[in-house]
Amino acid sequence: MRISRQPDLVLFDLDDTLCDYGGARVTRLRIAFGLAEETAGRTLDAPMDDVVAESIRIQPHGVDHFPDLLSRHGIACQEAAEAAVRWYVRNRFHGLQLFPDAIETLEVVRAAHPGRRIGMVTNGPADVQSAKIDLLGLRPYFEFCLVSDEFGFWKPDREIFLEALRLGEAAAVHSIMIGDSPDHDMLGAESTGIPTVWMNRHDHAWPAPIPPPTWIARDLADVRRLLGHSERLGGGSRSR
């Protein structure tokens, strides 16, 4: 599938699109729960990977559930839970890295189309996301970084996408949104008329109630092929 017109504005999500937030979260949880085991002097009564997965299902980003979760799995020790919470909160960026070709992708996407603007639209607390952007060295590659908590609207609310179009000085049909979340990135962009690229690194099934993405990318190399030059890219169920 070919892109019929190169977009003037390219919008990127941050977490699990440009940086491996999911991988870093798993690493942090394993360390935190391992510290709880060490503090309590006993091991969890379920495999570590299962406890980590359960933690993410219960509360993807927080720590309030740690005491109950650990207690259910054999560590009913307040000191151990507090140690896990303390380490996790103090090391919120531990292990966080860009995907290896993220910078290359941003450079290729910009260079391919003279005058193209690149923006970021990310959900999360303003201080956390801004610190993350600076830690990863991403800010110089973007005309603007729009953080939901700072702006006052969160993806998929169309207001944050309309603001991105205003900041990028582009029409929706001459823009594109790249992100990993069907619910936040794809649905929000779709509601604003922005064509979409779904980052599907793990070959997930598309959630049927949501309108399908314009294109599907399995990695950033697919994004470079789509926006850096005119090679073919596997598409979703629609084309523009």
Task: Report the domain count for the chain.
Answer: 2
CATH number at residue 206: 3.40.50.1000
d(CA 126, CA 122): 10
CB atoms within 10 A of CB 127: 11
Q: Is residue 70 part of a domain?
A: yes
Q: Is residue 81 part of a domain?
A: yes
Residues 57 and 130 in one domain: no
Q: What is the value of pTM for the model shown?
A: 0.90
Residues 119 and 209 in one domain: yes
Q: Is residue 208 part of a domain?
A: yes
Residues 211 and 117 in one domain: yes
Q: Is residue 3 part of a domain?
A: no
Digit-coded pLDDT (tens) for 100-152: 999 999 999 999 998 999 999 999 999 999 999 999 999 999 999 999 999 99
Count CA atoms closer than 13 A to 139's CA, side-chain side: 8
**Residue owning tokens 């054999």:** 74
Residues 50 and 154 in one domain: no
Q: Which helix (H) or strand (E) is 147 found in, with range?
A: strand 144-147
d(CA 233, CA 216): 8
**Taking a C-beta distance cutoff of 8 angstroms, is the pair 161, 151 a contact?**
no
pLDDT, one tens digit for every residue, the chain (240 residues):
467 789 999 999 999 999 999 999 999 999 999 999 999 999 999 999 999 999 999 999 899 999 999 999 999 999 999 999 999 999 999 999 999 999 999 999 999 998 999 999 999 999 999 999 999 999 999 999 999 999 999 999 999 999 999 999 999 999 999 999 999 999 999 999 999 999 999 999 999 889 999 999 999 999 999 997 634 344 454 433
Residues 112 and 189 in one domain: yes
Q: Is residue 58 part of a domain?
A: yes
Residues 118 and 78 in one domain: no
**In the listed set 32, 67, 90, which residue is the last one of a domain according to the structure?**
90
Residues 116 and 70 in one domain: no
Residues 28 and 16 in one domain: no
Residues 102 and 221 in one domain: yes
CB atoms within 10 A of CB 130: 17
Residues 13 and 60 in one domain: no
Q: Which helix (H) or strand (E) is 49 found in, with range?
A: helix 48-58
Amino acid at 202: H
Q: Is residue 216 part of a domain?
A: yes
Residues 155 and 57 in one domain: no
**Taking a C-beta distance cutoff of 8 angstroms, is the pair 180, 13 a contact?**
yes
Pair type for strands 196-199 and 117-122: unpaired
Q: Is residue 234 part of a domain?
A: no
d(CA 41, CA 197): 47
Q: Of 160, 176, 161, 158, nearest to 116 (Cα)?
A: 176
Domain range for residue 58? 22-90
Residues 14 and 73 in one domain: no
Q: Report angle CA 87, 60, 185 to the nearest 5 degrees.
A: 130
Q: Is residue 236 part of a domain?
A: no
Quote the longest CA-to-CA distance of the chain: 61
| 117: β partners | 9
| 147: β partners | 122
Q: What is the pLDDT, as a whole number, of residue 229? A: 61
